[in-house]
Chain A
Amino acid sequence: MRALPVGDRALLVEVSSDEEAQALHAELLRRRAAGSLRVREIVPAARTVLLDGLDEPGRLAAQLSDARLPPVPPPAKDAVEIPVRYDGPDLADVAERWGVSPREVARIHAAAAFRVAFCGFAPGFGYLTGLPARYAVPRHATPRTAVPAGSVGLAGPYTGVYPRSSPGGWRLIGTTDAVLWDHTREPAALLSPGTPVRFVPVDPLPVAPFPVDS
């Protein structure tokens, strides 16, 4: 664990894996809730957690360099269930990359226990980890100019759901009617860092026109 100064009031704490980043994030939230950490923003990302709005970043950096991370605590809440139709335009492409049938893509994806590693890109857009590493897929070389809201996509090790229509390069495997972001709702974001998530297939799983192996 390495704490890098970011200006005079922030620290970027770098770790070596997704799991460590999630453990660090959970630990920092615990310290803030306990009153031992005063900070305006705690922003987790892939391999880092940013702490912004610190009075004494130097002191915290010294503390953290000695700290040992407790393991990621079990989720404090039940998994958010996102109903999904596995009907995305890239489903066949993902099936080919995984070496399985489209129906099997849906089964594998719906069987995984996801967790929101971090958010970014747009309000309410979560980067979800939980698929085994062998299922990582590259982004499209050329992003689509418009991805519809509710599209469920894969990029690298992550699954994500587009909260609203936007350009995007993720490989789209499905669609959901879940509302990921609604600023009139409390909380506005369906998914926040640390939230456990499951994708629940809406029947029927895709059959034609995709080839199905039994």
Chain B
Amino acid sequence: MTDRALVVVRPGALTTVQDRGRPGHAHLGVPRSGALDAPAAALMNRLVGNPPGAAVLETTLDGCDLRPRSAVTVAVGGAPCPVSVNGRPAPWGAPVHVPAGALLSVGKAVSGVRTYVAVSGGVAVDPVLGSRSTDLLSGLGPPPLTAGTVLPLGRPDGTHARVDVVPQPSPPTELVLRVTPGPRDDWFTAAALRTFTTRTYRVSASSNRIGLRTEGPALERAVDGELPSEGMVLGAIQVPPDGRPVIFLADHPTTGGYPVIAVVHPKDLPATAQATPGTPVHFTFVSGRNDRF
């Protein structure tokens, strides 16, 4: 068969289609979604000659197995893992040729959480509001992959340069997150703000694409009562009633009613996508609103 498609043989724990998401619809209650480790997804696209917004697969901890129906070039990166084609070892973080009908195995992550698989031509499921991303909060986009799912592939257009090697950051052994205080830091006691920036939190196993949950000392509120729901940004650190900070990731709700103590700098977010449960987390305030990095 020559049709351009990818058959899912083993979906892994959670594998979704992701691109750069669907920003611009938050006022309708539509989360942005998109690859959590966006730089890794963009790099894998470059390796196979795709435009940066092509849809890739995002795996979670234990990879996935795929069988393309036509010959394709793939690149596997993000969380490091073993890669093989028909049982023969293949390179991670580099373009790999996969013949039609061969089995591409993306193994368990040796570190980090999310491995990205870019395929030449990109995954070509129908877009929803301009994006092919699976949104686990609202259910928009294709459902998580299951065994037997057949994913259509686009045609490589040949206008994007393929590269052979790209440097990739290692998954973090600790997260040091630069955060800007507010907008609701005044809902917390001075002691809570000190605790937030001086004590160590750890990544909770209940983290997902919606939020990175933490375990650690509870943050005490200075203000009781309810905050009327307000708009939320990517990287907002919301503090629910249990006092443990939650960092909002790509599938976060567009509005929320718990106070946001601070916001993570966008450049520090990709690392949060690769932090395994138990990873230490430190929050560091950067001064005022006019800082630029």
Q: Which residue of A lies closest to B292 (CB)?
A: A8
Instruction: Give the contact stretch, choosing among A49-57, A95-103, A170-178, A200-208.
Output: A49-57
In the complex, what residue of chain B is closest to A52 when comparing beta carbons? B233
Q: With A and B bound together, what is the CA distance between A50 and B186 in angstroms?
A: 18
Task: Tell me the smallest distance from the CB of A162 to a CB of chain B, in Å.
Answer: 12
Considering only residues 73-131 of chain A, those with a C-beta below 8 Å from chain B are 118-125
The answer, yes or no, to whether A38 is at the interface (CB within 8 Å) is no
CB distance from B230 to the nearest CB of A (A): 4
Complex contacts, A124 vs chain B, CB 8 Å: 28-29
- Determine whether the beta carbon of B182 is less than 8 Å from that of A119: no
Interchain nearest-CB distance for B257 vs A (Å): 9
Interface contact B23-A41, CB-CB below 8 Å: yes
Q: Which of A4, A44, A122, A189 sits near B182, CB closer than 8 Å?
A: A4
Contact (Cβ within 8 A) B24 A41:
yes
Nearest B residue to A44 via CB reads B27
Give the CA-CA distance A183 to B255 in the complex, in Å: 20
Give bound CA distance, A18 to B255, whole Å.
16
Most B Cβ at <10 Å: residue of A7, A48, A120, A122:
A7
Q: 9 A-B pairs, CB-CB below 8 angstroms?
A: A6-B233, A7-B265, A8-B292, A45-B228, A45-B230, A45-B231, A119-B27, A121-B255, A123-B140
Tell me if A47 and B230 are in contact (CB < 8 A): yes
Number of A-B contacts (CB under 8 A): 115
Distance (whole angstroms) from the CB of B264 to the closest CB of chain A: 8
Q: Which 7 A-B pairs have the closest CB atoms?
A: A50-B231, A7-B263, A43-B231, A46-B228, A120-B255, A5-B289, A4-B183
User: Which of the four size classes fits the interface of chain B?
Assistant: 35 or more
Distance (Å) between the CB of B132 and the closest chain A CB?
A: 12
Q: Roughly how many angstroms separate A12 CA and B229 CA in the complex, as a whole number?
A: 12
Against A, the Cβ 8 Å flags (1 = close, 0 = not) of B243-277 are 00000000001110000100111100000000000
Alpha-carbon distance between A13 and B236 when the two chains are bound, in angstroms: 16
- Bitwise interface map of A from 12 to 43 toward B, beta carbon under 8 Å scored 1, else 0: 10000000000000000000000000001111
Known A7-B180, A43-B255; judge A121-B24 contact (CB<8 A). no
Query: Is the CB–CB distance between A125 and B289 below 8 Å?
Result: no
Q: Give which listed residue, A9, A10, A41, contacts B27 with CB less than 8 A.
A: A41
Which A residues are within 8 Å of any B CB, using their own CB? 4-10, 12, 40-50, 52-53, 57-58, 61, 118-125, 164, 183, 188-189, 192-193
* B128 interface hit (Cβ, 8 Å): yes
Residues of B within 8 A of A48 (CB): 228, 230-231
A45 touches B255 (CB 8 A): yes
Task: Decide: A192 near B140, CB < 8 A? Known: A6-B182, A8-B289, A120-B255.
Answer: no
Q: In the assembly, what is the distance between CA of A125 and CA of B25, in Å?
A: 13
CB within 8 A of A41: which of B26, B128, B180, B288?
Answer: B26
Q: Closest residue to B181 on the A side, CB-wise? A: A5
- Which chain B residue shows the least CB distance to A48? B230
**Chain B 24-61 interface mask (CB, 8 Å, partner A; 1/0):** 11111110000000000000000000000000000000
| A residues near B182, Cβ cutoff 8 Å | 4-6
Complex alpha-carbon distance, A58 and B289, angstroms: 7
Q: Report Cα–Cα, A149/B264, bound state, in Å.
A: 36
Q: How far is the CA of A78 from the CA of B228 in the complex (A)?
A: 29
Most buried by A among B140, B254, B266: B254
Chain B residue, CB-CB nearest to A194: B27
8 more CB-based (< 8 A) A-B contacts, given A4-B183, A40-B24? A7-B265, A41-B24, A41-B231, A47-B228, A50-B230, A58-B289, A119-B29, A120-B29
A6–B27 touching, CB < 8 Å? no
In the complex where A43-B255, A122-B138 touch, is A12 in contact with B230 (Cβ < 8 A)? yes
Minimum CB–CB distance for A209 against chain B, Å: 36
Q: Which of B183, B253, B260, B291 contacts A120 (CB 8 A)?
A: B253
CA distance A48 to B232 in the complex (A): 11
Min Cβ gap B189→A in Å is 19
Contact B138 A8 (CB under 8 A): no
